[in-house]
Amino acid sequence: MGGTALVLGSGGVTGIAWQWGVLAGLADAGVDLTTAGLVVGTSAGSIVGAQVACGVPVEQRYAAQLAAPDGELPARVGRVVLARWAWAALRSRTAAEVGARVGRLALAARTVPEAERRAVIAARLPVHEWPRDRQLLITAVDAATGAFTVFHRHRGVPLVDAVAASCAVPCVWPPMTVGGVRYIDGGARSPVNADLAAGHRRVVVLAPSPQGFGPVVSVARQVAELRRQGARVVVVSPDAAAREAFGGNSLDPARRAHAARAGRAQAPAVADAVAQVWK
What amino acid positions are annotated as catalytic residues?
43, 185
Specify burial of residue 66 (Cβ count, 10 A radius: 0-12, 13-18, 19+). middle
- In one-letter notation, the amino acid at residue 174 is P
- CB count within 10 Å of CB 41 equals 33
Report how far residue 232's alpha carbon sits from residue 10's, in angstroms, rounded to the nearest whole number.
22
* Residue 135 half-sphere exposure toward CB, CA atoms < 13 A: 14
How wide is the angle at C-alpha 139 spanned by C-alphas 95 and 207, nearest 5°? 85
| d(C-alpha 248, C-alpha 276), whole Å | 33
Going through 9-151 in order, the beta strands assigned E by DSSP cover 38-41, 135-142, 148-151
Contacts (Cβ under 8 Å, ≥6 apart) of 226: 194, 195, 197, 198, 203, 233
How far, in Å, CA of 241 to CA of 168, rounded?
27
Q: How far is CA 13 from CA 50, 66, 128, in A?
A: 15, 12, 19
List, in sequence order, every residue forming a beta bridge with 67; answer none if it has no partner.
none
The C-alpha atoms of residue 118 and residue 13 are separated, in whole angstroms, by: 15
Its sign, for the CA torsion 77, 83, 89, 92, is negative
